[in-house]
Structure 1
Amino acid sequence: MSNDASQEAMTCETNAGLDDAQVRAYLEAHPAFFERQSDLLADVRLPHAQRGSISLVDRQLDKLREQNGQLREEITALMTVAKHNESIYQSFCQLYVALLPCQSINDIHQQIQQVLSELLNLSAITMWPLADQQDWVPRRKPVDNEALQQLQRRRLQNGAYYFGRLNDADKALLFDDQHVESAALMTLEEGSILLAFGSADVDHFNPNLDVLLLDQLRTLLSAVLKQLRERRNG
């Protein structure tokens, strides 16, 4: 045995009472330890739940296999998300083209429902006025402007979006009796219109959603609505 190895063995024997932290600190401070003690890699035996006792080399290989498996799963998940995002992008492009020839806000509402309901697995899409314009925004019941404005201030807080759950009163106001557990709310055309998306999945809309595509949709919808309003008011 070499002098270095002998000295190392004596040191280990002298410090037989080392705890885990000290052993780890020593190995981290002496990365060449296993190069000098290469035979130790094959001799050290580690407990294994399925295989009994295995060598340190085998345990390292198992760990690498586990890490590779995790990386493959993460890559697969990223590819799935990318494919879904591409599908959403393509559908949004179709919606943009479909919105351009719309002659009324009802046409716009219908196109949004047709394109996005199935794509995003939504249970409801509604549009509401945030000002006194009952004949401008499609509706199925009289509009409670005061309640809608209060909801806007409470949920959006001067922002453009809200993602998450709603209480029963808000759901009844926006979606009537349709099954909605989470919602996305956005204002259109300088805050004069509220567009509401509802999903039966409680986790479908959450505060961590990316708004890149929604920003584009909001910009286009606001531009189309502004043109319609200008033509309508002559």
Structure 2
Amino acid sequence: MESSPEEVAEYLRMHPEFFEEYADMLAEIQVPHPHGGRAIPISERQIVALRDKNRILQDKLGELIRFGEENGAITEKMHRLAVALLTFTHLADFLHGLNFHLREDFSIPHMALRLWNMTADGPPLPEFTPTGADIRALAESLPRPYCGSHVLDEIRDWFGEDAVRLRSFAMVSLSAEQTIGLLVMGSEDPQRFYPEMGTIYLAQLGELVSAALKRFTRAEG
């Protein structure tokens, strides 16, 4: 009765001494090359398999190194932004500096910000333009930053003439004991902000901006 391939494999697993007793025979066995039709010895086939595994591990290591370098670069940019925001003494300069760093350091070409539940001294700023109830409800309902292609029409209007070119957005809720605003970033690239992207740094950006705004504003009584 002929044995099945599974039975042969199980026998070899249970009797490793077989390979020592029949070493000469094993050296004569030819098997198909994994990357071509020619036959090669079993020993060479094992070497090829090890090379393939090593190549896969090297690719994964390279990917991890690349991710680490990208994260390190973002961390440095976040640090530069935090230091820069601490230097401003006027809210208008703070908002201009935030826009500048997002554009120049983070390659985010368009930013819009609306604030509420707080007031600030000085001349009126567009960031305090009254918003609709839908905007406030949206900001309060965001458990984490949103990334994608859809935003409310009112938000699109914040970007003026640039709105027609924008294809992806990131929305970050701002809070200080209560929701105080919504930061929205836009891009012409539909893949700049996509639903599956990580949002850790966007969340940290929201926390940084929220904390920094406390220096220039006060909660409405």
Q: For residue 26 of structure 2, give the secondary structure of its aligned residue in structure 1.
A: helix
Higher RCO (C-alpha 8 Å, min separation 6): 2
Following superposition, the deviation at residue 32 of structure 1 comes to 4.5
Cα distance in 1 for partners of 2:117, 2:8 equals 71
Matches of residues 1-234 of structure 1 in structure 2 within 5 Å? 14-16=1-3, 18-19=4-5, 21-48=6-33, 49-50=35-36, 52-129=38-115, 135=124, 138=127, 144-152=131-139, 157-166=141-150, 169=153, 172-173=156-157, 175-176=159-160, 177=163, 179-190=165-176, 191-205=179-193, 206-211=195-200, 213-230=201-218
Amino acid paired to 1:41: L
Cα distance in 2 for partners of 1:115, 1:74 equals 33
Distance of aligned partners of 1:94 and 1:39 in 2 relative to their CA distance in 1, 3 Å threshold: same
CA contact (8 A) 2:167 2:190 kept: yes
Following superposition, the deviation at residue 30 of structure 1 comes to 4.1
Following superposition, the deviation at residue 61 of structure 1 comes to 0.6
- TM-score normalized by the length of structure 2: 0.76
Q: Which runs of 5+ in 1 are unaligned?
A: 1-13
Larger Rg: 1
Q: For residue 100 of structure 1, give the secondary structure of its aligned residue in structure 2.
A: helix
CA contact (8 A) 2:114 2:181 kept: yes
Following superposition, the deviation at residue 120 of structure 1 comes to 3.2
Q: Which runs of 5+ in 2 are unaligned?
A: none
Cα distance in 2 for partners of 1:98, 1:83 equals 23
- TM-score normalized by the length of structure 1: 0.73
Greater strand proportion: 2
Q: For residue 204 of structure 1, give the secondary structure of its aligned residue in structure 2.
A: coil
Amino acid paired to 1:202: P
RMSD of equivalent CA atoms: 3.2
Following superposition, the deviation at residue 217 of structure 1 comes to 3.0
Amino acid paired to 1:192: I
Q: For residue 126 of structure 1, give the secondary structure of its aligned residue in structure 2.
A: strand
Cα distance in 1 for partners of 2:90, 2:17 equals 75
Distance of aligned partners of 1:91 and 1:37 in 2 relative to their CA distance in 1, 3 Å threshold: same
Amino acid paired to 2:68: A
Amino acid paired to 2:192: H
Q: For residue 193 of structure 1, give the secondary structure of its aligned residue in structure 2.
A: strand
